[in-house]
Structure 1
Amino acid sequence: MARVKEAAAEAANSVAEGTAAAAAEAAAHAAVPPSPKRVARLPGPVRFALAVVLSFALSSLGRLFVDHCSNNEIGGIAGEGISRKELSILAAWKLFGLALGWWYDYDGFDLAALALLSHGPVTFLISVFYGIRAITAGAYLAVDVVSAFVPFLLLRRLSGAHAAAPGVPNRDIVADRGIQVLTSLHSALVYSVVLFLAGRFVLPNTLVLYFEGIPTIQPAADAPLLGFGSPTTQLLSLLFGLAARTFIFAPLVTTPTTAEDRKNAEFDPVSASLGQTVAWNLWGYTTRTKVSLIRTAVAMLFTAVGTYLDTVLVISGVEPYGAAVYAGVWVIATLVTGLSLRYVGSI
């Protein structure tokens, strides 16, 4: 009888141990989350090459489509057309812009904003002063923006600033519709004021002297403040404001505080060397300020080069000096907008 009891006890113990082991194993499996599936991705150089090919293809097909639908309306101001050398320069600049965007990890919205800042000024010029229909000029601008936006949208993830991803600093600011509208209107106002002042003091003489064959300069001389009375000017100002807000303000406010910021805050000029003091005075800004300065500089570069090339190479009769002055107006507008957005972002 005792042996029977001992056997029963051993059986019960073994069952209990088995049950406990099974429970422990189940708990372990429950505690360890399933490993995420690895998604195969193409190598970076391959994706960049695909982005370049797709961008050039969209640009070429889009321009051919607009030329066909508008009966080559823009051909009336293009003179004899673009030579092979000039076409190579424009292609090289476009390739440089794509490479810069890929190198600095820009996303589709960044490239779309830069395309608008780069090609928007010539859209304003040909639609307001050269008599090209606004819908035709806008279609060419849309082709430039889409050909920059779509490849990066397909082949590169959105940044946290533009996706308003959870965990991004100040996510509530970039996701708030009211703030988006107000910052875009703020930037549009800056562009409108700069264009108004340029129309009063710079553009009339420049257009007369260096833009041979321009049909009229009256819109520049009679331009009212904020572009009221000219729907094209108002719409382009709003688009420029949206582009500046997208490229400068959103990445600025979502930049986190870094260890370098804390190091700069603790900087002691008394104990620092001369080289450290000079470096701190030249570039001892916060990370957010550095982001805003770099992005403003990039926006100015794209505005300057893109506007100059589009003006002097595409439009017949424009002298290089006149194209440089016209581009300078938009560069100043971009600079003032970038600095003002940095101020708004620091509030």
Structure 2
Amino acid sequence: MSTQRRAYANPADARDEVPAAEPAESSLVARAPSPARRSALPVAVQFPLLATLSFCLASLGYSLLGEVTKGELAAVSRSQDTWTEVGVLAGWRGIELALGWFGKLDSLDVAMLDLLSHGPHLYLLSAFYNLSLSTAFSAMAVDLISVAVPFYLLRPLSAVHTPSAAAKLPNRELLDVVLQVYTAALSTGIYSVVLVLSMHFVLPRIFVVYFANIPTVEPAYAASYASTLPVTALFGIAASTFIFAPFATTGHVKEDDKIAAFDPVEASLGETVWWNAWGYTAKTKVVIQRTAVAVFVSAVNTYLACSKTVYGVEALGAAAYASVWAFAALCTGVGLGFVGGE
């Protein structure tokens, strides 16, 4: 990833070199929704309402899923033994929703992020615990709907996900369908390599030692790039959608001029430390932040889902399995950063 953190002895040189461009926000989302289209509800009630809707939809969805599948998912999942465990899982779901809401993500963003964080657990149950594909996909659909619908009702899609508004974005040519296919393919390839190599060299031992009730580890040894492609393609598309487009279409902001004009000779120690730690352009900050969020939620949700809802999984085993998916998300973010770098 290009960071554009050059230091200039003369700030005027930096101003001459920095081109003027359309402003953009340095946040998880390249552009916030238009104020005219935001929810008319009071700000104080928007997030509580969103969280309530999400929990209600999830509860309803899983109840219907249990009835239709005759409890297939419940048969391979353990119930929470204490109110502490219930509180941990509910609290984590609230944190996920808060990350999306206060990070100014839209419904498509949170849906893709939800797939990255909830998919690994369902893949584990489907591949190793004999959960049918139809039930796994249905459970994933419940998760996606329960988070995307409340966001869609309370917050419109951002400009990068709205074709009519995307035409005004900087670097809009990077939203070309062909390039998006390429970036999705790159993300899929990275997930495939990480998952298959982990299945062959890391996870079998982890499963045997720390997953006491796992029925079989044969799928790990039999994993191939072709057999895992349907799964890794979903993760690749989700990662590319969540990370690449908002990052690639982030434009130039005034703070970028200050970063480019930074003079280490004149700067104080505190300013130098800040510049070395966070002296990146707005565009680079977006890819760093979105990659960090994807890694964080993939790791934490996979760990909690495995350790709290799967029979016989020890904490160390859950952490090891979660680290595989977190590493895949990290590598994908780095790869996409190089593709869309300045």
Shared fold, TM over 0.5:
yes
Q: Does 2:323 correspond to 1:324?
A: no
Give the paired residue count.
Answer: 305
Q: How does 1:224-243 map to 2 (within 5 A)?
A: 224=224, 226=225, 228=226, 230=227, 233-243=228-238
CA distance in 2, matches of 1:211, 1:325: 11
The question of whether the paired residues in 2 share the 8 Å contact of 1:75 and 1:81 is answered with no
> Aligned-pair distance for 1:67?
0.9
CA distance in 2, matches of 1:40, 1:247: 23
Residue number in structure 2 paired with 1:283:
278
CA distance in 1, matches of 2:219, 2:258: 52
Deviation string 1:72-127 (CA, Å, 9 cap, x unpaired) is 11222224555433222111111111112111111101111111111100111001
Residue number in structure 1 paired with 2:22:
none
The question of whether the paired residues in 2 share the 8 Å contact of 1:190 and 1:336 is answered with yes
Change (3 A) 1:219 1:41: same
Deviation string 1:267-312 (CA, Å, 9 cap, x unpaired) is 2222222322222111111111111111111111110111011111
Higher helix share: 1
CA distance in 2, matches of 1:151, 1:39: 13
Q: How does 1:1-347 map to 2 (within 5 A)?
A: 41-79=40-78, 83-164=82-163, 165=165, 166-174=167-175, 176-224=176-224, 226=225, 228=226, 230=227, 233-346=228-341
Give the % identical residues: 48
The amino acid that maps onto 2:174 is: I
Greater CA deviation, 276-285 or 82-91? 82-91
Change (3 A) 1:38 1:158: closer
The amino acid that maps onto 2:192 is: S
Please list every run of 5 or more consecutive structure 1 residues that lacks an aligned counterpart in the other structure: 1-36
> Aligned-pair distance for 1:326?
0.3
CA distance in 1, matches of 2:88, 2:308: 9
> Aligned-pair distance for 1:222?
2.1
CA distance in 2, matches of 1:309, 1:189: 27
Change (3 A) 1:40 1:84: closer
CA distance in 2, matches of 1:133, 1:84: 30
Normalization by structure 2: what TM-score? 0.85
Greater CA deviation, 90-99 or 332-341? 90-99
Max Rg structure: 1
The question of whether the paired residues in 1 share the 8 Å contact of 2:112 and 2:239 is answered with yes
Greater CA deviation, 177-186 or 129-138? 177-186
Partner SS state of residue 95, structure 1: helix
CA distance in 2, matches of 1:244, 1:237: 10
CA distance in 1, matches of 2:185, 2:277: 32
CA distance in 2, matches of 1:38, 1:114: 23
Greater CA deviation, 162-171 or 305-314? 162-171
The amino acid that maps onto 1:209 is: V
CA distance in 2, matches of 1:267, 1:296: 26
Greater CA deviation, 259-268 or 190-199? 259-268
CA distance in 1, matches of 2:204, 2:104: 40
Change (3 A) 1:40 1:184: closer
CA distance in 1, matches of 2:89, 2:158: 28
Greater CA deviation, 284-293 or 334-343? 284-293
Deviation string 1:145-177 (CA, Å, 9 cap, x unpaired) is 111111101110211122241421122322x21
Residue number in structure 1 paired with 2:9:
none
CA distance in 1, matches of 2:39, 2:261: 44
> Aligned-pair distance for 1:242?
1.3
The question of whether the paired residues in 1 share the 8 Å contact of 2:116 and 2:294 is answered with yes
CA distance in 2, matches of 1:80, 1:101: 27
Partner SS state of residue 132, structure 1: coil
CA distance in 2, matches of 1:102, 1:294: 15
Residue number in structure 2 paired with 1:22:
none
Partner SS state of residue 346, structure 1: coil
Please list every run of 5 or more consecutive structure 2 residues that lacks an aligned counterpart in the other structure: 1-35
Residue number in structure 2 paired with 1:15:
none
Normalization by structure 1: what TM-score? 0.84
